[in-house]
Structure 1
């Protein structure tokens, strides 16, 4: 019976579209316009970047701004090369990246689990929601010193702070998605004598995937913030520690290098979520927006 229901109801059927519904943009009408618009968008974006870097390079000198306030772009690049050659940058970069990945994965799994449990059980949500809300309202920065006191100057306090920050947006998105599942689809599966697990696996969980990935996108950037806060408060390794160390030495260029490293980690985490999302939700049709 399980195989019959699985073959009848699929994630693509729940979403209302299948892979066969996708049409190559190259063969679609107006495809050339889409590619031209994409080319113009990329060109304008690169132009903005060039203008920004040019202003960063020459404006501080024209305004008479000292290097310890705002170093030139080339000065930051030179400092980054020096830190790269000494090996200190990559050591701290790898530690922070590892903490971000672990904190993000644990926070995502916990948020998914709690979101599903609360979504399937309104009674459990009524009991636990005040405590979960209180945990979210409490500033995460306040927990960082406490975690350091408990766990010492290790990677664990940073991972815990990242876990707490990532947990809430994913939990809320999954909870809302579970509660707003199409009741007609649920009733359809029930008419096929589906069990409670089959209803969740074939209808509720696939329907919650778009909301889950929306929460994961937010969590990917918040994980970097959480780890950085932990390293700023009580770290002896990582880019957050490198940032504080450079600030203590009056090395403004080094501060910018650490910020750049944190930005790269955040972009990489976000891009990884988008890459996974496109492969998991390929059956959902994308809006084709055109301008006259």
Structure 2
């Protein structure tokens, strides 16, 4: 028996089938994952901005022939930062400032959330206390530092109190705004489900208020650091603020700029800490 010859399909069918199969392959091909720089362009752009600032700083010093007492070049600032770090000059002062800032931040946060919740829960309390809170916020807090130093001495208490006062107001305002941001339809739904006030608070009001509270926490932590440093600058025997005052008397401008770099690093660390906590606690926002 002779073998059966292979069947040859119609050329027209081959012509129409080939593009269809190619199109299907193109559609079914997995999409290429974007590169890291496309997903996170800040990884390249942020260092580029820093390099541009340093270059502009260096050129400005050289172009106008500025004295080191006026504006030291960035190379000398970096050398001062490395030298003081190797000598351990920052360690104790940094720990002192961070400890006072965190304690004041915690106290101001707790008080701010409690007062914000009280104002949100009672319209009468809101009308009674709000003018006094606004009046307290308007006067300069730096004026309190000499009095607090007289009352509590040169220890940590004045710095903690100033840090707590500066951290209080942004947390209180954002807590009040978040707790009063619940829409009427959601409240009516909770009432229709016969939810108690505690259930309404836990299931509705608190999740709604958390993004607002964390926005206030990010500001509050930075303000707490500024408050602690201000208290150290005006009356203290240790801390980064005391170190700035010491360098200013000695006309060590490069060391002052090196401390400014440390303050910038503290601010970035505070931002990263609050961002990490927000992602862990408010997980539903992604």
What range describes the TM-score normalised by the shorter chain of this pair? 0.7 to 0.9
CA distance in 2, matches of 1:205, 1:40: 34
Query: Which aligned pairs between 1:1-292 and structure 2 lie closer than 5 A?
Result: 32=34, 35-284=36-285
> Is 46-55 or 154-163 further displaced after alignment?
46-55
The question of whether the paired residues in 2 share the 8 Å contact of 1:95 and 1:238 is answered with yes
> Is 209-218 or 257-266 further displaced after alignment?
257-266
Would the alpha carbon gap of residues 280 and 30 (structure 1) be closer, same or farther in structure 2, given more than 3 Å must change?
farther
Unaligned runs of 5+ in 1: 1-27, 286-292
Shift of 1:277: 0.3
CA distance in 1, matches of 2:184, 2:40: 43
Unaligned runs of 5+ in 2: 1-29
Shift of 1:215: 0.7
- What SS does the corresponding residue of 1:51 show, helix, strand or coil? helix
Shift of 1:45: 2.3
CA distance in 2, matches of 1:142, 1:246: 23
CA distance in 1, matches of 2:108, 2:215: 14
How does the TM-score come out when normalised to structure 1? Answer: 0.82
The question of whether the paired residues in 2 share the 8 Å contact of 1:165 and 1:219 is answered with yes
Number of aligned residue pairs: give it: 257
Shift of 1:257: 1.7
Please report the RMSD computed on the Cα atoms of aligned residues, expressed in angstroms: 1.9
Moved over 3 A (4+): 28-31, 35-41
The question of whether the paired residues in 2 share the 8 Å contact of 1:68 and 1:250 is answered with yes
CA distance in 2, matches of 1:102, 1:31: 45
How does the TM-score come out when normalised to structure 2? Answer: 0.84
CA distance in 1, matches of 2:140, 2:249: 26
Would the alpha carbon gap of residues 255 and 131 (structure 1) be closer, same or farther in structure 2, given more than 3 Å must change?
same
Would the alpha carbon gap of residues 74 and 176 (structure 1) be closer, same or farther in structure 2, given more than 3 Å must change?
same
| CA offsets 1:180-237 (integer angstroms, 9 cap, x no match) | 2122222222233322222212211111001001111111221121112111111211
Would the alpha carbon gap of residues 29 and 209 (structure 1) be closer, same or farther in structure 2, given more than 3 Å must change?
farther
> Is 131-140 or 174-183 further displaced after alignment?
174-183
Q: Which has the larger radius of gyration?
A: 2
The question of whether the paired residues in 2 share the 8 Å contact of 1:243 and 1:259 is answered with no
Shift of 1:138: 1.3
Shift of 1:170: 1.1
CA distance in 1, matches of 2:217, 2:194: 33
| CA offsets 1:19-49 (integer angstroms, 9 cap, x no match) | xxxxxxxxx989628x543454432322221
> Is 229-238 or 81-90 further displaced after alignment?
81-90
The question of whether the paired residues in 1 share the 8 Å contact of 2:229 and 2:240 is answered with yes
